[in-house]
Amino acid sequence: MANPHSSTGKASSTVPGFFERLSSMLLREPEDRQQLMRLLQSAHQRNLLDADALSITEGALAASDVTAREVMVPRQLMEVVDVGDSLATVIAQVNRTAHSRFPVVDGSRDNVVGILLAKDLLRVRREDGFTLRDWLRPAVFIPEFKRLDGLLREFRVSRNHMAIVIDEYAGIAGLLTIEDVLEQIVGEIEDEYDFDEADGNIELDHSGLYRIKAQTTVADFNAAFGTTFSDDKCVSVGGLILRELGRVPLFNETVAIDGTEFQVLRADSRRIYTLLVAGPPDAGDPR
């Protein structure tokens, strides 16, 4: 039986491994990041790196220049629970937001006393004697100018998935999750609460509102909801909102246009993905 590791094997002599090929590119010892990026892009052009690997590498390098403040959920948009809330109130908020973690405050958003994991509530047997403080995990606080590459290392070592961002006066500026950091590196991460590619553009949400993909055409939206928005200048609902605001809206921001309120369910710094809209008052499923 031939030795698969033999240097005389045809495959091993003609098809060098990925790391060997990449190493040969990097032997030029780039002097700065711009030169390194040019080498990586050259490697992609020569089929030594595929597009996904190049994108992730570029994202990882860029993360060292991005701060927590640039990608955090701002303080005013944080979904928090109060340490004095009843079990029923907390469960209702978990169901409404579908989040897995919540900062817990004591009276003020500047007084974060811990983090609640929604899954911990599964172990609560009854409301009698329930004290939210007994179920809290320690909160991690980071300065707003902390870079994402260092934060990702801390998340990995500490096994925390959420950090509270503080400003220079020790006030709460916002929050950041490990998913926010990873999305800066690998791009948008969809979960079970995001639209599947096969789903329609308009779907009934568990909250009783309708989830609308931002790519939904204005004409289709008008037909479903009985509105009369013009599509002369904006083809999609997302474009309609961008034109109204003149900017990309923030997560959870509500935008009212001609009496219709759109709540932003998913958006990043460049585009809108998903919106929540109340259904027509005199109709069932608008689909």
pLDDT single digits (tens) 92-109: 988 888 788 999 999 889
Domain 69-186 and domain 202-277, same fold? Reply is no
CA 241 – CA 218 distance, rounded (Å): 11
Higher-scoring residue by pLDDT: 279, 261? 261
82 token code pair: 């109060």
Higher-scoring residue by pLDDT: 51, 14? 51
* Band (73; pLDDT cuts 50, 70, 90): confident
pLDDT of 4: 44
3-state DSSP call for residue 82? strand
Asked whether the beta carbons of 39 and 25 are under 8 A apart, the reply is: yes
Asked whether the beta carbons of 116 and 132 are under 8 A apart, the reply is: yes
What is the average pLDDT value for the chain, to the nearest integer?
A: 79
Amino acid at 53: A
Asked whether the beta carbons of 114 and 101 are under 8 A apart, the reply is: no
Asked whether the beta carbons of 120 and 144 are under 8 A apart, the reply is: no
Amino acid at 162: M
CA 176 – CA 134 distance, rounded (Å): 24
Q: What is the tens place of the pLDDT at every residue in 193-224? A: 454 444 678 988 767 789 898 889 999 999 99
Q: How far is CA 114 from the centre of its chain?
A: 22
Asked whether the beta carbons of 178 and 71 are under 8 A apart, the reply is: no
pLDDT of 26: 52
Residue 89 above 70 pLDDT?
yes
* Band (192; pLDDT cuts 50, 70, 90): very low
Where are the strands (E) in 111-154, listed by range?
112-117, 141-143
Higher-scoring residue by pLDDT: 2, 142? 142
CA 43 – CA 69 distance, rounded (Å): 33
CA 117 – CA 188 distance, rounded (Å): 23
pLDDT of 13: 45
Residue 262 above 80 pLDDT?
yes
- Ranges of each domain in the chain: 16-63, 69-186, 202-277
Domain 202-277 CATH (choose: 3.30.465.10, 3.30.230.10, 2.30.30.40, 3.30.420.40)? 3.30.465.10
**What DSSP state is assigned to residue 236?**
B
Superfamily of domain 69-186: CBS-domain (3.10.580.10)
What percent of the chain lies above the pLDDT cut of 70?
72
Q: What is the tens place of the pLDDT at every residue in 134-189? A: 999 999 999 998 888 788 888 888 888 899 999 988 899 999 988 888 777 766 55
